[in-house]
Structure 1
Amino acid sequence: MAAIVQFENVGLRYGHGEEVLRDVTFALAAGAFYFLTGASGAGKTSLLRLLYLAQRPSRGVIRLFGSDVVTMPRARMPLLRRRIGVVYQDFRLIPHLSITDNVALPLRIAAVPEEEVREAVGEMLAWVGLGHRAAARPSTLSGGEQQRAAIARAVIARPDILLADEPTGNVDDAMADRLIQLFVSLNALGTTVVVATHDAQLLAQVPAAQTMRIAGGRLADPAGASRVPAWRERA
Structure 2
Amino acid sequence: MATIVQFENVGLRYGPGPETLSDLTFSLDEGAFYFLTGASGAGKTSLLKLLYLAQRPSRGAIRLFDADIVTLPRARLPGFRRRIGVVFQDFRLVPHLSAFDNIALPLRIAGVTDDQLRPPVEEMLHWVGLTDRANALPATLSGGEQQRVAIARAVIGRPELLVADEPTGNVDQEMATRLITLFEALNKLGTTIVVATHDFNLLGKVADGQMLRLEKGRLADPTGGLRYPPRHGGAG
TM-score by length of structure 1 reads 0.95
- Asked whether the equivalents of residues 130 and 145 of structure 1 are also in contact (C-alpha less than 8 Å), the reply is yes
Give CA-to-partner distance per residue, 1:199-225, whole Å, 9 cap, x none: 110001113111011001001133124
Give CA-to-partner distance per residue, 1:150-188, whole Å, 9 cap, x none: 000000000001111111000011100100000001001
Which residue identity lines up with residue 63 of structure 1 in the other structure?
A: R
Query: Residue 199 of structure 2 aligns with which residue?
Result: 199
Query: Residue 32 of structure 2 aligns with which residue?
Result: 32
The Cα RMSD (Å) is 1.1
Which residue identity lines up with residue 43 of structure 1 in the other structure?
A: G
1:211 is paired with a residue whose SS is strand
Whole-angstrom distance in 2 between the partners of 1:166 and 1:126: 22
Correspondence list, 1:43-122, <5 A = 43-122=43-122
Q: Report percent identity of matched pairs.
A: 71
Matched positions, count = 229
The offset of 1:228, in angstroms, is 7.0
Give CA-to-partner distance per residue, 1:2-61, whole Å, 9 cap, x none: 000000000000111110000001000000000000000000000000000000000000
**Which shows bigger deviation, 114-123 or 51-60?**
114-123
Instruction: Structure 2: state its 5+ residue gaps.
Output: 230-236
Moved over 6 A (4+): none
The offset of 1:226, in angstroms, is 2.9
Query: Residue 155 of structure 1 aligns with which residue?
Result: 155
Instruction: Structure 1: state its 5+ residue gaps.
Output: 230-235
Query: Residue 171 of structure 1 aligns with which residue?
Result: 171
Which residue identity lines up with residue 220 of structure 1 in the other structure?
A: A
The offset of 1:227, in angstroms, is 1.4
